Chains A and B, each alone.
Chain A
Amino acid sequence: MKIKKITLIFSDLLLISWVAFAPAGMCQDINEKIKSLEDMLKAQQETIQKQQEIIKQLQEELDQIKKQAAEIPAKPEEKPSYTSGGLFGAASAYNPNISLILDTFGYSSSLKKDELEKWNIPSFISEGIDHKEGMNIHAAELYLFAPVDPFFNLYATIPVKQEGVELEEAYLITTNLPAGLQAKIGKFKSGFGRLNSQHSHVWNFVDQPLIYRAFVGHEGINEKGIQLTWLPQLPIYTQFGVEALQGENEILFGSDASSGLHAFSAFIKSSIDVGDYGTLLFGPSVIAGKTRTDSIAEDHIFSGDSTLIGFEFTYKWKPSRWKSFTLQSEYMYRHQKGKLQDTTTQAIQNLTRSQDGIYLQSIYQTGRWGFGTRYDLLEPFKDQYKLDGANISFGNKPWRASAMVEFNPSEFSKIRFQYNYDKSARDGRTNNEWFIQFIGGVGAHAAHTF
């Protein structure tokens, strides 16, 4: 900039000296020339002025930036948070996110201990209820999650129970597949149905609906295998999923049913928003596979094929953080065909079971309080239990009604009371159950699914 200015001044000087010493005869010609030169000079001066303005503007901007820079306090030297240093000194920065959730409840029943242990659902499952009168620890569940690399995330759920440590879930999930595809590999809760993939601490009741207990057991379909889901780019949320599973669920399949993967599932989940605050989620699921189980009746082993079909429906209305209403229902239909063997007499009979079940629950939340009701019914439409071609009747349809009240002191804790009026034993007896549940979570803030 400076050099330009100097050159300009220099050229002006030259011009002036030339005009001053010009011969007189050239006057007229010169006058014209002077005029044009004057014009040129003017133009140059304008240019200079413009340039000076630009310089001024830039100077102002520079001052502004300097001022801004001065406003930002110099960062204090960051001290390394580890003390040991050395080769693996910063490794703690790579620790996965960890959280621990304690789920514990007090339980009381109108039945005696031995009655409770035999509180099965005839024609469905032979297993009784394993809650103990008094305090129970459902689990202290340890969650670990972190990205593995730019291609996978890793999740593990390790419940520590009174009976010991379990590997409930441990899976890799892809993050980089194209076209809306995603794979889950490892041990995970199947995408079948609505509640199946939810962890117990996000359930709306202390226990699972009867259809879960009757068709897949209270732990749900939680299997080793591979899941592939696809979310196409549609205006409406629609997710498609298929799974190939080991088939170790002790109620529906059984690890001895076949070697290798022997349970396969498929599901579709669609969702639309209704109005500003409402959301609908619905879709069918199916899972089928080879079965070998001793859960149908005592001292009997069943082997054959099973198909479970489900349909889920959820409507949630949530105008604010402090208010919501949820209506949720799932229907399941199970068809099973195979041989039932008496393990004492070794007698074998053909068994065909076609049974269904449904639950309907509603939750109303206001402020930190939640209120819920649930109705369970088995065999609403289908109650076939055919032994060697003859249909057997087991009596009244199993049903149960539940009510709960919960208080959430914060986002991380919950106290819940629940009452069950349980008529699932089909013989007219009633199991009155009372629960008081406490849930508290510490550690990393895991995000919640819908």
Chain B
Amino acid sequence: MKKNFLKIFLAGIFLTMFSSNLFAKINVVATLPWIADLAKQIGKDHVSITTLVKTSQDPHYVEAKPSLIIAARKADILMYNGLDLEIGYLPVIIESSKNPNIQPGKSGNFDCSQFVTPIEKLSSVDRSMGDIHPRGNPHYHFSPANVLKVAQGMTEILVKIDPANEAYYRKNYQAFYSKWQEKIKKWKSANLAGKKFVAYHTLFSYLAKEFNFQIVGCIEAKPGIPPSSGDIQKIIDTINKTKPAAILANVYSPKKPVDFVAEKTGLKVILVPHDVGSLPGTDDWFSFMDKVISLLSEA
């Protein structure tokens, strides 16, 4: 009796330890919703995806909750944004997960920014400038050119982990690429060139660069620090001088300073999705971009 119990107990432990190997699906853990969506579009039925950051959350400030650690524990591959966006919590999650697959230097540690050409790199920084990212602006998921490169890199890593399904992943990438080509024509034809906007945070730099419009200033003058009254006065002056079309806010930006600036300048506020799924009708990366482009071009 006792022996049997021990056997069942050991079998149970064995099963929990190696259960990931029993199922063919690749366990992908993605930090951000858009990364999860890309992985889903390339991996489809052959991947099972967990997303760590909720669509309502500010991706800069996430807590390394135990539920995130246990999610990372089972990952075959961890896909993250990089450029220090997740620096406040991801290192703890990776180390505490006790999962050798996703440690830095392993193929299961997949930094999406490795395929990206960052902009706004700063060679000389200190934190009197706020919580800036010296390695470049991390919000490159607004950049179709960079996202395509990430999708390509994702395809290669999935092929490397699961070579048996190479053709499947490549086919899915081809479908992604065809859709991308079709969409980019549509987006480029939207009338964005020459437009001017004010943003709360430096979210839209890549978009502005690729679609030739201008972000004349940010209400949050120093990233991560709520604007002072001086900062607000400064942005109001900028608005009065440059006459932008609207203020671009997102679901996690604080309402108070945004509404105050809007009231003082008469500018309208556009709630722009910051990531896939953060607003209705943004279920995948393409519809997310559709929404962003249409919101901005209608402004």
Chain A contact residues, CB within 8 Å of chain B: 68, 71-73, 147, 150, 153, 173, 175-182, 229-237, 239, 269, 271-273, 276, 279, 281, 316, 318, 320-322, 367-368, 409-412, 442, 445-450
Contacts and interface: CB of A to CB of B under 8 A. Distances in A.
B222 to A, nearest CB: 8
Highest count of chain A CB atoms <10 Å: which of B20, B64, B65, B252: B65
Q: What 6 A-B pairs are tightest by C-beta distance, nearest first?
A: A271-B66, A237-B66, A237-B70, A321-B61, A447-B91, A447-B92
24 contacts: A150-B105, A150-B106, A177-B100, A179-B17, A181-B98, A232-B16, A233-B17, A237-B67, A273-B67, A276-B54, A279-B65, A281-B66, A321-B252, A410-B127, A411-B88, A411-B131, A411-B224, A442-B127, A445-B84, A447-B64, A447-B87, A447-B92, A448-B64, A448-B88
Highest count of chain A CB atoms <10 Å: which of B63, B70, B225: B70
Contacts of A180: 17, 73, 98-99
B163 interface: no
B114 to A, nearest CB: 14
Contact of A233 (B63, B73, B84, B87): B73
B100 A178 contact: yes
Contacts of B254: 322
A118 B58 CA distance: 49
B117 A72 contact: yes
B95 A231 contact: no
B262 interface: no
Interface in B94-143: 95-100, 103-106, 117, 127, 130-131
How many chain B residues sit at the interface, stated as a range, is: 35 or more
Highest count of chain B CB atoms <10 Å: which of A175, A181, A281, A318: A175
B158 to A, nearest CB: 22
B208 interface: no
A153 B95 contact: yes
Contact of A176 (B20, B73, B91, B100): B100
Given A233-B20, A276-B54, A448-B88, A175 B100 contact: yes
Contacts of A447: 64, 87-92
B264 to A, nearest CB: 21
B184 to A, nearest CB: 10
Contacts of A411: 61, 88, 131, 224
Contact of B66 (A181, A279, A367): A279
A318 B56 CA distance: 12
B70 A234 contact: yes
A180 B17 CA distance: 8
A449 B17 contact: no
Contact of B95 (A175, A367, A412): A175
A233 B145 CA distance: 38
A26 B237 CA distance: 96
A450 B65 contact: yes
Looking at chain A's contact residues, the main secondary structure is: loop
B103 A175 contact: yes
Interface of B: 13, 16-17, 19-20, 54, 56-58, 60-61, 63-67, 69-70, 73-74, 84, 87-92, 95-100, 103-106, 117, 127, 130-131, 145, 224-226, 252, 254
Looking at chain B's contact residues, the main secondary structure is: loop
A17 B233 CA distance: 88
A279 B87 contact: no
A321 B95 contact: no
A177 B92 CA distance: 17
B67 A279 contact: yes
B258 to A, nearest CB: 13
Given A147-B105, A272-B67, A448-B64, 15 more contacts: A150-B103, A150-B105, A177-B98, A179-B17, A231-B69, A233-B74, A237-B70, A239-B66, A269-B66, A271-B65, A279-B66, A316-B63, A318-B63, A321-B252, A410-B131
B57 A320 contact: yes
A180 B75 CA distance: 12
A178 B56 CA distance: 35
Nearest to A443: B127
A178 to B, nearest CB: 7
Contacts of B95: 153, 173, 175
Nearest to A446: B91
Nearest to B72: A231
Contact of B224 (A237, A271, A410): A410
B130 A410 contact: yes
Nearest to A97: B91
A367 B58 contact: no
Contacts of B130: 410
B92 A448 contact: yes
A412 B127 contact: yes
B238 to A, nearest CB: 23
A426 B84 CA distance: 51
A146 B226 CA distance: 32
A320 B56 CA distance: 8
Given A321-B61, A450-B65, A229 B54 contact: no
Highest count of chain B CB atoms <10 Å: which of A230, A281, A448: A448
A345 B157 CA distance: 75
A73 B54 CA distance: 35
Nearest to B88: A447
A179 B54 CA distance: 28
A114 B214 CA distance: 67
A409 B225 contact: yes
Contacts of A147: 104-105
A367 B226 contact: yes
